[in-house]
Structure 1
Amino acid sequence: MGSMSDESTNNGLSVPGETRGKVINCKAAVVYGPEEPLVIEEVQVAPPQKMEVRIKILYTSICHTDLSAWIGENENQRVYPRILGHEAAGIVESVGEGVVDMKEGDHVIPIFNGECGDCVYCKSEKTNLCGKYRVNPMKSVMDIDGKPRFSTPDGKPIYHFLSTSTFSEYTVLDSACVVKIDSKAPLKKMSLLSCGVSTGVGAVWNTANVHSGASVAIFGLGAVGLAAAAGAKSRGATRIIGVDINKDKFIKGKAMGMTEFINPKDLNRPVHEEIKELTDGGVHYTFECSGNLDVLREAFLSTHDGWGLTVILGIHPTPRMLPIHPMELFDGRKIVGSVFGDFKGKTQLPHFAEECMRGVVNLDEFITHELPFSKINEAFQLLIDGKSLRCVLQL
């Protein structure tokens, strides 16, 4: 795991073709049980099979979804041993039979919400889901043979996560879950587009289609919420209200374009009452990024009746249902969920990457820490303690 330049052309790869078709021995962070420390150890990574791609991961970061999986919040996802991780960027090492849109040496981003390009969903302009490769947190093996591509040196299986498993020096993905980007794009920054930034900005641009002059309230100021703020600023929103119980997030929020902040702990009334008074009846759009149903209700009620729209971005693992009475929808407020910011990964993400390179969204603001891959447990703790937005790990 030596030092590598982010702008290097070969980024530490072997001579092209040297490892093609062979099992690769490399380091990976393996989790063996809920909340157990990740173990950096040697694993074997099999060659890609039909319509699969093996990539060398150069940068990866930790998202709250990784944290939830590590904690084991959903019992149905407790598959071990497993390699987590889904935000990353790297280089194509080799491709399997049938892959024609990528080749060895291409710069790529893994995505958890794939796009095959051929199914009825992919051909529809109304959704970014794919009939076969949409986000599936239960999936832990590859489709073609029902087996993982990871194993221990003695041949025992190690399972996949979110179709990506980026906490490894090498990983194998379905080609539908790999996006080729401009080779000039700085991979360290591009790694953020695998999940959080794309999810937040896309929810503003694609799902809500926020208009110039709009008022917006964002509940939960992690990376996704701050990305939503950056997206709203780029669209010309005039009021961007951040809501969070961690006052330290307000400093970063201001840099992202937020104009006002509300800490629910400082209020003696519900947040939605405060927002309605501040905005003459409520904001045009709210974005719920906390994964808390009580917060979701506050976000919903904070929109203006007649035209308000609430977009759900937070992951809600509990079995509780929506805290909204059906008749409340007759006041003209709407509520909708957004997966991966409604970006179609393979067809739309390359253009978004180009826009980020031009500075439409400042990706530098999201990288609060950088560590070597060997310190991945420290990176997890930074996220748990609320001290980091994204800690980028260099492999």
Structure 2
Amino acid sequence: MRWLIFICFYIVIDIYAFQAVKTLTKNNWIHISFIVVSLIVLANFIFQFNQPNPAGGFSGGRAYAIGLVLAFMVGKIILTLLLFGEDIFRILAATYHKIFTPSSSFVMPERRKFLSQLALGIAAIPFASLLYGMYWGKYNYKVLKYSLYFEDLPDAFDGYRLTQISDIHSGSFDNKEKIEYGVDLINEQESDVVLFTGDLVNNKATEMDVWKSTFSKISAKDGVFSVLGNHDYGDYVEWESDAARLANLNDLKNVHADMGWNLLLNEHRFLGKDGQRIALVGVENWGAGGFKKKGDLDLAGKGLAAEEFKVLMSHDPSYWQEKIKSDANNYHLTLSGHTHGMQFGIEIPGWFRWSPVQYRYENWAGIYQEFGRHINVNRGFGYLAYPGRVGIWPEITVIELRKGPKPA
């Protein structure tokens, strides 16, 4: 039934889009080409989703099938809405003439060519953007740098630099050269510590087999620390047994260790410098709604005093809203990911930022502050489902901790 509804919807918007093409040209070859391409995109989508997919999720040919259908459908939906609006006008105009000029026959005004041209031009923008995002945007890494000021930061850590990455989703990758460039970019920041905030894989630990040697190159003076994200637990793929699912999770934990990463599972470590220290706290995934709720902030921070300076890693930013920002243990800075910025949106630094994901998550990208406590939501290093990014680029965050009040 779901396939039937999708196919019917696809055909309906295709028919509307075809009307614009017919208005612009009478060339039968163009008409035939439009129909053939639409059918190929639809057929490929159905074919890919009916093939065995041992890794589960949306990767490989299945991901590109999603991307192509999305690009074509978004463009055609916009085209359909514009043409439907013109059709309403045409019906109203014809009805008006029928009522007020009864001697005339009911004639539907012809579709105006310039409106079809305008509609096609507008629809081409998201269509081209989504294709761009699939082939170039997903590896358009951006290094975003922030300086955050804390009056109670230990003196020795004034100027201390953290690099945060998140949401690698290694099962989606298809270009080793680009990924190695991204890893090199991480190391070029020469931060004191590198922090990874979850979702190393889409579903299975084996996704890292071909990428483990690449990501093991990430290094920092004080080490690389990590936490788990919701995808790391393997909950989005079928397993032959619970034992197999748990074995996969254990294998993934070993991947972190094999790469030299320090995986924090509701626990904390200390980073020391010149006889002073800050606490690095890592919780397992906790997400609002139906997401995995393994995070235990009380356990992770057990034994820490409220006055100690703390940096917390929590994959899902909803935990910050739910508990972290108001916790009596005073978590100064929280680092999260998870949202990907929906991999689609518009950002004009310092002026405007929008993505559909903001209607689901209050904290979805960048720095936020409440109660004197901060959270950074990283837009993610990788991608999932739609194999691309448009406007919301893959991110490497560098945060410099500074002592004292924020300059005016």
- Smaller-chain TM-score range? 0.3 to 0.5
What is the TM-score with the length of structure 2 in the denominator?
0.31
Structure with more of its chain in helix, by fraction:
2
User: TM-score when scaled to structure 1?
Assistant: 0.32
Asked which structure has the greater CA Rg, the reply is 2
